[in-house]
A and B are shown apart, each in its own frame.
Chain A
Amino acid sequence: MNHLVKKGQKINFDEVWIYDKVGQEGLVEIRAVVEEGGEFNAKGKIKIAKNVSGINAFLKFKVLLLGKNSRATVKPELEIESNDVKASHSASIGRVDEEQLFYLMSRGLSRQKAIELIVKAFLN
């Protein structure tokens, strides 16, 4: 589930994953690239009901902020009511890695092109 939030755009995302059957496993990864002036608001919840076991659930948010005034609000939540389970989430929000940029630019790409390439790779 990947999102590209263009200039001045706003994307809201809100979802709950309920695990209520024994042995369920799930890995969800959500990525977003937010361009200048864009806004990405995401909320995701893993909910594990009472009396289930053997669940392994993972929710991952990765957001790349580009340019000025780009915003991201990320709320990964866990609500766990059983103990024989494992549930994790992670969220990272950051910018384009300068070292990656430097590498690509040293190969002759313009800064703009290099960013485009990194964004493309990030969303694939």
Chain B
Amino acid sequence: MIKDDYKYGFSMPENYVYKSQEGLSQEVVLKISTMKKEPLWMTTFRLKSYEQFVKKEMPTWGADLSTIIFDNIHYFVKATDKTEKEWSDVPKEIKDTYDRLGIPEAEKQYLGGVKAQYESEVVYGSLLKRLSDQGIIFCGMDEALAKYPKLVKEYIGKLIPPGDNKFAALNSAVWSGGSFIYVPKGVKVDLPLQAYFRINTANMGQFERTLIIVDEGAFIHYVEGCTAPIYSTDSLHAAVVEIFVKKGARCRYTTIQNWSKNVYNLVTKRAKVEEDGIMEWIDGNLGSKITMKYPAVVLAGRRAHGEILSVAVAGKGQHLDAGAKCIHLAPETTSRVLSKSISFDGGRASYRGLVQMVPGAINARSKVVCDALIMDNFSASDTFPSNKIYESEVTLEHEATVSKIGEEQLFYLMSRGFEEHEAEAMIINGFIEPIAKELPMEYSVELNRLINMQMEGSVG
């Protein structure tokens, strides 16, 4: 029925400068830090995080994580010696991989800059001169630590401290790669910035760390797309994304996650929004074996606004536990969550969300809508929202519906001459339309194509 071959399921011969031993210890953490020639405070940060990681319990709620064996994972792989500046300097194998993903194409088009993460470090990066002229910093996290240690030190781990959860602690201990963006006051970036992440070693965890600071009145749209080659052993992806949206600034963060079906995708994403700021998370989850990801907005300033739009498509053997968190700490803050999920061929999609309003968050408003489609009788869907309202002068609305594709809708389209599978594909595309239309055009097309491809033959 469903095609099992993963679209990007090719892998290149492994060719590494350094590959850490399997498993994690204080020594490995120390070694990563020394190899990267990091300042002392970062080494201490990593070691403290490692202690937290050892102490923290595995989360027992949500998806089943009991099959992760931390000792079988490579925590650090360095693909080439240095970060490449020119496309012509990038090793051929890596280039071939990107060619298949169409990266240079994307770059030729209107994207501002491509930071492609092959393995654990940024090997290729380009940034339009226009951006750097405006004072925008867009580079790899390791580069940022070397060049702008003050900025990094001021913000890293401040929103998601290592003790937040076991996987945030793990990431803080062994992080490598990821993006760093700083947008100065009042600068509006009109092109979406894009990063491409790939995993290419069996049993290798990717622990990228992303930090975005959008200063007062600035705007940025950051696009993160993930594709990974398929492997027979399980891989772990535990990223941390911290975003600071200052007064009157706006940040939009778009992700389409399409890890191969053996990846554990356990990501902590959080944004702090100050007065009149806007944060938008747009989150597409198609791949991975297990995903646990709950993008959060902490609305800390008056009139701050948070928006989380997410799509999850769970097929055979997948459990996608995604959701949203909106924490209202200030008066007149508003948030909106729209979650759409589709489960088919034995997949399970869950929505897990939190809306919290603290005393004093007067006139805060929040609206949460979750829609789920179940395509067949052996798939499942859950909704676990939590609404904690500790202030009376507020409005909260939550609604969720789980159903299958309506017979009447199908009947109508079929009476107009569509085949059943065409009609179903149309209904599904319509179902995710409110989110797909928010994506940059090429992503929107890709999302529809990926969903149709995944579900081919499984519906009807």
Point out residues on A near B: beta carbons under 8 Å.
34, 50-51, 63, 65-95
**Are A77 and B384 interface neighbours, CB within 8 A?**
yes
**Are A87 and B402 interface neighbours, CB within 8 A?**
yes
Interface of B is mostly: strand
Q: Which residue of A lies closest to B396 (CB)?
A: A93
Interface footprint category on B: 20 to 34
Smallest beta-carbon distance B163→chain A, Å: 24
**Are A67 and B404 interface neighbours, CB within 8 A?**
no
In angstroms, Cα B398 to Cα A14, docked, is 18
Chain A residues near B377 (CB, 8 Å)?
50-51, 82-84
**A77 with B383: in contact, given A83-B374, A84-B404 (CB under 8 Å)?**
yes
Number of A-B contacts (CB under 8 A): 110
List 29 interface pairs A-B (beta carbons < 8 Å), by A numbering: A50-B378, A51-B377, A63-B389, A65-B392, A69-B392, A72-B388, A72-B389, A73-B387, A74-B389, A75-B386, A76-B398, A77-B385, A78-B382, A78-B400, A80-B374, A80-B380, A80-B381, A84-B404, A85-B402, A87-B403, A88-B400, A89-B398, A91-B397, A92-B398, A93-B395, A93-B396, A94-B394, A94-B396, A95-B393
**A89 with B380: in contact, given A69-B359, A73-B388 (CB under 8 Å)?**
no
Q: Pick from A80, A83, A93: contact of B389, CB below 8 A.
A: A93
**A76 with B400: in contact, given A65-B389, A67-B392, A95-B394 (CB under 8 Å)?**
yes
Chain A residues near B392 (CB, 8 Å)?
34, 65-70, 95
**Are A90 and B399 interface neighbours, CB within 8 A?**
yes
Q: Which residue of B lies closest to A65 (CB)?
A: B392
Which residue, of B375, B379, B400, has the highest number of chain A Cβ atoms within 10 A? B400
Q: Which residue of A lies closest to B376 (CB)?
A: A83
19 other A-B residue contacts (CB within 8 Å) besides A67-B392, A88-B400: A34-B392, A65-B389, A72-B388, A74-B389, A75-B384, A76-B383, A78-B402, A83-B376, A87-B402, A88-B401, A88-B402, A90-B400, A91-B398, A91-B399, A92-B396, A92-B397, A92-B398, A94-B395, A95-B394
Point out residues on B near A: beta carbons under 8 Å.
359, 372, 374-404
**What 8 pairs between A and B have smallest CB-CB spacing?**
A65-B392, A83-B374, A78-B383, A90-B399, A91-B398, A93-B396, A88-B401, A86-B403
Chain B residues near A73 (CB, 8 Å)?
386-389
Smallest beta-carbon distance B224→chain A, Å: 30
**A83 with B400: in contact, given A76-B385, A78-B381 (CB under 8 Å)?**
no
**Are B400 and A72 interface neighbours, CB within 8 A?**
no
In angstroms, Cα B400 to Cα A74, docked, is 14
In angstroms, Cα B392 to Cα A71, docked, is 7
Smallest beta-carbon distance B358→chain A, Å: 10
Q: Which residue of B lies closest to A51 (CB)?
A: B377
Smallest beta-carbon distance A84→chain B, Å: 6
Q: Which residue of B lies closest to A69 (CB)?
A: B359
**Are A75 and B387 interface neighbours, CB within 8 A?**
yes
In angstroms, Cα B377 to Cα A83, docked, is 5
Smallest beta-carbon distance A7→chain B, Å: 13
Q: Which residue of B lies closest to A79 (CB)?
A: B382
In angstroms, Cα B403 to Cα A69, docked, is 38
